[in-house]
Amino acid sequence: MKRILKCLAVSSILAIVGISTSCSKKYNIESSMELTATATTIAVKANVNDPDKKINAKSVRARVIEIASDESESTKTTLTFSKLLTTENEVVINNETQTATSLEVATKYRVELYATVDGESYSLASDTITTSAQGTSENDPISITTYEEFKEIANDYSAYYRLDADINFGDQDYSQIFSSDSKAFKGTFDGNGHKITFKQTESNQYLGLFGIIDKEGTVKNLDVVNANIAVSRSSNTFVGLVAGLNKGTISNVKVYNEGDNSPEFNINATLSGTTSSLLTYVGGIVGHNDADATIENSSINANIKSTIKSRTTLGGVVGTNNGKIKNTKAVNNITFIEDTSSSTSTTVLSYEIGGFVGSNSGIISNSISQGLVDVSFKANASNSSRNEELIQALGGFAGSSLNGTINNSVANTSLVLENEQGPVMYVGAFVGNASIRILDDSHFKNNVVIAKNNKITLDLIKKESDWKIKTKDSDDKEVEIDRIFKFGLINTSSKTKQDSFNEANSFYVIGEFTYTLDDEVDTLPYSISNTDLSPKASTYELGQDSKVIDYIKENI
């Protein structure tokens, strides 16, 4: 016996939403269509129920037709609905949405939903809708006041938006709507001084409120409050509370916790991939700040915890910076655990961890790192093939700065290093590892290290024999190589300059460093005895650059 479906006679257009329903007289088919328009897009949500299975597979389409002022019509695009569910009893499309893009602003369109039935084109529903003028300029933005409205940014990634109320996404897990290059945010989002709270636990390559901000995209005047990301992945990952990957502009954005119910960790990332091509970027605000991207006048006060088995960069503001950052402050507690104690991978790995930035190849100015960076390495000490290539860089401001520039900036950071296992380790009160090619004042000017009330704690390898690594040379003969440990204000990869910036006039040090060695290590092993553990720079007085002094007074 055939199931007879009633026709729902509904037709309405409310602002930018239209719903139309059709019930075929010739065939037992029920369908509905919901239209949603932005300035340049029309989203078509379709429902089709065909119990007699008359519709040809994958033949449901929507024709988007522009209606000119003289009522003439021209087809602009055709959308195909592919999620046709065929059961034993019926053919169904259930709330599938397809979107027409690149349409004209404030223009009327007719949308026809149709399918091929018994070899002929058959109309299922038809309605008209006009694209909006709203969102086409900063003076006429689309207002957002709810989580549902925020998600509708996916209908138009290029529009102008303004947040007109605080939004808490609630207990629901925020599913990333900016998940790929084609879905990157390309518009302008003005937070208007309001707050957004969210949590995210899904396994996505790009994690954060905006996932990917494209080069045309701008996010500004926004507070991200009590946000929380917890992720476990084994492939390429970009993590930041504002964006995993930023190619555009982030301006006047504040990230912080408030209230008694703030999360214990704002970012808790467990990343376990071990292939040499794996890319892992973790930053409090942005995971990776791309070339030509900008972060300015922003701040973060949060917690970051990462358990890593892959090569990674980790920083309080950004993991890796290739763009520009200025007038930005990080107050973070960072915990980094390199947990490969059971790994047998021989992959070349590297870790760059800094209070402000993990790895810098861009330009940073007028910025501050403040807080604690606690790093623990649990690498498999017996895996010499792997450890031979392991490079670790830890810095109060930057883990590494390779051809990068850092000026007028401050490291007010305590460092804790435990159980160093790699063959090469750089620890810098300001930068762990700097490229030998940038040892000049044009790349480091008027920077400050605040040693007073900050500690550097080193829990190093205890057995002298463990400072040797057995490996094979180019002739496949077994040889021993020394582990390298460099400690100072800033270090370089040069074998001849262990503390290259101890005499640099471009640094000011306030107070004296307090460093602590594990009780069982009275002196450092002979393999690094030529490294002066007490940086000479700590004897310098604060310089007379009034701009630097004033900046510290205002921001510390």
What is the tens place of the pLDDT at every residue in 14-34?
334 445 554 445 788 999 999
Helices (H), 111-269: 147-151
Residue carrying the six token digits 């808790």: 268
Query: Would you state the pLDDT for residue 458?
Result: 78
- In whole angstroms, how far apart are CA 207 and each of 123, 177, 199? 42, 10, 10
Residue carrying the six token digits 């000119």: 68
Q: What is the CATH number of the domain that holds 113?
A: 2.60.40.10
**Residue 395 sits in the same domain as residue 501:** yes
Q: Is 298 in contact with 253 (CB distance < 8 Å)?
A: yes
Domain for residue 476, yes or no? yes
For residues 286 and 489, which has the higher predicted lDDT (pLDDT)? 286
Query: Would you state the pLDDT for residue 1?
Result: 25
- Amino acid (1-letter code) at residue 64: V
What is the distance between the alpha carbons of residues 108 and 51, in angstroms, rounded to a whole number?
Answer: 34
What is the distance between the alpha carbons of residues 56 and 241, in angstroms, rounded to a whole number?
Answer: 46
Domain for residue 451, yes or no? yes
Number of neighbours of residue 344 by Cβ within 10 angstroms: 11
Pairing of strands 61-67, 73-80: antiparallel
At residue 275 the predicted structure's pLDDT band, cuts being 50, 70 and 90, is: low
Q: Where are the beta strands (DSSP E) in 408-512?
A: 410-418, 424-434, 444-445, 447-450, 455-459, 468-472, 478-482, 484-492, 507-510
Number of C-alpha atoms within 13 angstroms, CB side, residue 63?
A: 15
Residue carrying the six token digits 């301006």: 251
The string of DSSP codes covering 333-357 is EEEEEE--TT-------EEEEESSE
Alpha carbon 409 to chain centroid, angstroms: 23
**Residue 90 sits in the same domain as residue 218:** no
Domain boundary among 98, 130, 162: 130
In the chain, how many domains are there? Answer: 2
Which two three-digit tokens encode residue 105? 């602003």
- Amino acid (1-letter code) at residue 459: D
Which two three-digit tokens encode residue 357? 């930035």
Query: Would you state the pLDDT for residue 541?
Result: 38
At residue 534 the predicted structure's pLDDT band, cuts being 50, 70 and 90, is: very low
**Residue 250 sits in the same domain as residue 328:** yes
Q: Which of 62-66, 143-147, 261-265 has the lowest mean pLDDT?
A: 261-265
Query: Would you state the pLDDT for residue 460?
Result: 73
At residue 472 the predicted structure's pLDDT band, cuts being 50, 70 and 90, is: low
Q: Is 72 exposed, middle or buried (0-12, 13-18, 19+ CB in 10 A)?
A: exposed
Query: Stretch 456-480: mean pLDDT, rounded?
Result: 72
Domain for residue 161, yes or no? no
Number of neighbours of residue 118 by Cβ within 10 angstroms: 10
**Residue 98 sits in the same domain as residue 215:** no
For residues 19 and 508, which has the higher predicted lDDT (pLDDT)? 508
**Residue 250 sits in the same domain as residue 348:** yes
Query: Stretch 430-439: mean pLDDT, rounded?
Result: 74
Query: Would you state the pLDDT for residue 113?
Result: 96
For residues 469 and 127, which has the higher predicted lDDT (pLDDT)? 127
For residue 517, pLDDT over 70 is answered with: no
Which two three-digit tokens encode residue 511? 């107070």
Which two three-digit tokens encode residue 251? 């301006």
**Domain residue limits at 243:** 200-555
- In whole angstroms, how far apart are CA 215 and each of 112, 163, 188, 297? 35, 21, 11, 18
Query: Stretch 156-185: mean pLDDT, rounded?
Result: 94
Query: Would you state the pLDDT for residue 527?
Result: 33
The DSSP 8-state label assigned to residue 140 in this structure reads: B
Q: Which of 34-43, 62-71, 491-500 has the lowest mean pLDDT?
A: 491-500
For residue 339, pLDDT over 90 is answered with: no
For residue 122, pLDDT over 80 is answered with: yes
Query: Would you state the pLDDT for residue 40?
Result: 87
Domain boundary among 130, 158, 185: 130
For residue 444, pLDDT over 90 is answered with: no
Q: Which of 130-134, 406-410, 499-503 has the lowest mean pLDDT?
A: 499-503
**Residue 330 sits in the same domain as residue 478:** yes
What is the distance between the alpha carbons of residues 501 and 430, in angstroms, rounded to a whole number?
Answer: 10
What is the distance between the alpha carbons of residues 149 and 19, in angstroms, rounded to a whole number?
Answer: 18
Provide Rg for the chain, Cα atoms. 29
> Among the ranges 8-22, 410-424, 427-441, 521-535, which has the highest mean pLDDT value?
410-424
Nearest Cα residue to 507 out of 437, 456, 439: 439
What is the distance between the alpha carbons of residues 384 and 382, in angstroms, rounded to a whole number?
Answer: 6
Pairing of strands 468-472, 478-482: antiparallel
**Residue 315 sits in the same domain as residue 206:** yes
For residue 470, pLDDT over 90 is answered with: no
For residues 203 and 378, which has the higher predicted lDDT (pLDDT)? 203
What is the distance between the alpha carbons of residues 298 and 401, in angstroms, rounded to a whole number?
Answer: 21
Query: Stretch 147-151: mean pLDDT, rounded?
Result: 95
**Residue 122 sits in the same domain as residue 243:** no
What is the distance between the alpha carbons of residues 220 and 344, in angstroms, rounded to a whole number?
Answer: 45
> Mind listing the pLDDT tens digit for each residue in 312-336?
899 999 999 999 999 999 999 998 8
Domain boundary among 73, 104, 130: 130
Domain for residue 186, yes or no? no
pTM of the prediction?
Answer: 0.79
What is the distance between the alpha carbons of residues 358 and 399, in angstroms, rounded to a whole number?
Answer: 5
**Residue 520 sits in the same domain as residue 434:** yes
**Residue 245 sits in the same domain as residue 377:** yes
Q: What's the full length of the chain, in residues?
A: 556
**Residue 525 sits in the same domain as residue 421:** yes
Domain for residue 147, yes or no? no
Query: Would you state the pLDDT for residue 529?
Result: 30
What is the distance between the alpha carbons of residues 235 and 269, in angstroms, rounded to a whole number?
Answer: 12
Q: 152: helix, coil or strand?
A: helix
For residues 76 and 528, which has the higher predicted lDDT (pLDDT)? 76
For residue 109, pLDDT over 60 is answered with: yes
Query: Stretch 360-365: mean pLDDT, rounded?
Result: 95
Q: Which of 147-156, 197-206, 422-431, 440-449 has the lowest mean pLDDT?
A: 440-449
CA angle 420, 450, 488 (to 5 degrees): 40
Domain for residue 191, yes or no? no
**Residue 228 sits in the same domain as residue 102:** no
